[in-house]
Amino acid sequence: MCFYMKINEIFKSIQGETSYVGLPCTFIRITGCNLRCSYCDTMYAYEEGEKMSLNTILEIIAGFNTKIVCVTGCEPLSNKDTPLLIKDLLNKNYTVLVETNGSYDIRTIPQKAIKIMDIKCPDSNMSHFMNWQNIKYLTKSDEVKFVLSSRKDYDWTKAVIYKYNLSEVANILIGTVFGAISPNEVVQWILEDNLDVRFQLQLHKYIWEPHTRGV
């Protein structure tokens, strides 16, 4: 099947987040997003991009020669053809990570892909868009990500983890908005509450200048 997608960028780097952090990875950033998070660091991908055929996309990815491909955005599920792209990547035996903001129905994501689903905290100003039904469709190979800007976000996150028993549903990631809150503080709260979560930093923002694109 031949179709075209608007792609913001395709690049090779290391995975800066998730439990795959530090591993070589090819990123495909799909143009478009239905949300406008207060801390968004990829606003350039709201509209910017180039239409590419599926074959061109796959050729570029193959040229980077990584085992892991991360399908990301803005919001990849805002493009109706993204599940078809994911299916083709899986058929080529890539490990496929799909980063999604939690507002779209994740059942459209092919089952063998690993879902990295955000649950937007209150300070993002987008938490009311969350599709809470998605939690039912997560597996233990999937990951749920909370990005904190404040103590209020942390307390809200803790309540959500307990309410939905998330530790039994998927792997839980807690990170911080870069520069908004001290990672040291958040780690201390996690340890005090004995939360069953993985704390993460955006590793790429410590290796390269924080606003560098294509890394």
- Cα distances from 103 to residues 55, 74, 76, 115, 190, in angstroms, run 29, 12, 11, 13, 26
Inside any domain, residue 143: yes
What's the confidence (pLDDT) of residue 127? 97
Q: How confident is the model at residue 204 (pLDDT cuts 50, 70, 90)?
A: confident
Q: What's the gap between Cα 145 and its chain centre?
A: 8
What's the confidence (pLDDT) of residue 43? 95
Give the pTM: 0.95
Q: Mean pLDDT over all residues of the chain? A: 96
Q: What is the pLDDT of residues 16-32, one digit of tens each?
A: 999 999 999 999 999 99
The two tokens of residue 81 are 């053809």
Inside any domain, residue 24: yes
Q: Considering only 10-14, 51-55, 61-65, 203-207, which range has the smallest mean pLDDT?
A: 203-207
Cα(58)–Cα(44) distance, rounded to whole angstroms?
A: 23
Q: How confident is the model at residue 115 (pLDDT cuts 50, 70, 90)?
A: very high
Inside any domain, residue 39: yes
What's the confidence (pLDDT) of residue 1? 65
Q: Per the structure, how many domains does the chain have?
A: 1
Domain of 77, in residue numbers: 4-207
Q: How confident is the model at residue 194 (pLDDT cuts 50, 70, 90)?
A: very high
Asked whether the predicted pLDDT for residue 80 surpasses 80, the reply is: yes
What's the confidence (pLDDT) of residue 3? 85
Inside any domain, residue 214: no
Asked whether the predicted pLDDT for residue 109 surpasses 70, the reply is: yes
Inside any domain, residue 212: no
Contact 147, 197 (CB under 8 A): no
Encode 6-23: b = buried (16+ Cβ within 10 Å), e = exposed: bbbbbebbbbbbbebbee
Inside any domain, residue 190: yes
Q: What is the pLDDT of residues 118-152, one digit of tens each?
A: 999 999 999 999 999 999 999 999 999 999 999 99
Asked whether the predicted pLDDT for residue 2 surpasses 80, the reply is: no
Asked whether the predicted pLDDT for residue 212 surpasses 90, the reply is: no
Inside any domain, residue 93: yes
Give the HSE-up count for residue 58: Cα atoms under 13 Å, Cβ half-sphere: 19
Domain holding 86: CATH number? 3.20.20.70
Q: What's the gap between Cα 50 and its chain centre?
A: 21
